Structure 1
Amino acid sequence: MNVPVSRLWWGLTDPNALPQWLGTLTNGTFISGGEVTIRHAENYSCTSQILECEPEQLLSMTWKFPDEALSKLQIKLAQRDESASLLLIHDGLGKVATSYLPGWHTHLLYLEDLLLGHPRSMSEFWSTYEELREI
């Protein structure tokens, strides 16, 4: 992605950026040992313990929705020349992994467009998800 890693980190952790690609931060901050709650829909939030937080390098956290088993999310960032790269690893999903693949793909499309200055409308999120799920 042709943005600096600092902008990518902003997109991943800033309370104003999160609702434009993932969900609304309703509690907490992204610091090692902290906890965050992100609302993805009305009455449906994910609570995460921040395991590691190295700004502009690494974000590792648990991932827990009320109706799912606890899993672990790790996001590694790197700067290569003028472009930032992101590696997302989501472990422990079990049977729900197949639904998470198009979900993360959709979220990351929204993140990319936000970082490039042309955010997508969240009202189109589920139709985009359905298109990717069919691929």
Structure 2
Amino acid sequence: MRVTLPAPVEQAWLALTDSQRTVSWLGRLDTVAIAEGGRFDLWHDKTVRSRHTVTKWHSGHLLSLTWDFPEERTSRVTFTLAEESPSTSRLTLHHEDLEDAVSYAAGWHRHLQYLHGHLRGDDLPIDDFWSGYDDLVELYASSAPTSEP
């Protein structure tokens, strides 16, 4: 996925790595900030936690980590930031080795909407996160490549 964010790269990077910022769009980190070589847990709600290890780190530009979600095989997600203009940045998100790419695409779509809102200073209500999710699943399912026998 690629999105334009309404903030310079430095601010977008903080939103990706600082626990006071991630809580607005992704979840609560069990660390103050994600760091190179670090391991951390991400709480998606009060009972659901995923575990992560930072595998690549180029401060301000590239964050790659394992994505170990309960009852799923471990996958990898990479966030890449680039300057688009002095006041905007381009985020590329690549999540690989997924068992269910369609539901993850819908979930990341929503998370990136929340990130966009956070960066423009208008945090979206976390209670509304799942609103429209099923429609996004249908959208991504209809555009997913099919394989024929």
Global fold match (TM > 0.5)? yes
Confirm or deny that 1:85 pairs with 2:90: yes
5+ residue gaps, structure 2: 140-149
Q: Is the 8 A contact 1:30 1:53 kept in 2?
A: no
- Scaled by the length of structure 1, the TM-score of the pair is 0.92
Residue type matched to 1:77 in 2? L
Confirm or deny that 1:36 pairs with 2:40: yes
Q: Deviations over 1:12-64 (max 9, x none)?
A: 11111111111100247422221011000222111001001222100000000
Q: Which moved more, 1:34-43 or 1:100-109?
A: 34-43
Structure 2 counterparts to residues 106-121 of structure 1, below 5 A: 106-121=110-125
Confirm or deny that 1:59 pairs with 2:81: no
Which protein shows a greater Rg?
A: 2
Q: Which moved more, 1:125-134 or 1:54-63?
A: 125-134
Structure 2 counterparts to residues 88-107 of structure 1, below 5 A: 88-94=93-99, 96-107=100-111
Tell me the CA shift for residue 3 of structure 1.
Answer: 1.3
- Scaled by the length of structure 2, the TM-score of the pair is 0.84
Q: Which moved more, 1:50-59 or 1:103-112?
A: 50-59
Q: Percent identity over the alignment?
A: 34
Q: Is the 8 A contact 2:18 2:33 kept in 1?
A: no
Spell out structure 1 runs of 4+ moving beyond 4 A.
none
Higher strand share: 1
Residue type matched to 1:129 in 2? Y
Aligned residue pairs total: 134
RMSD: 1.4
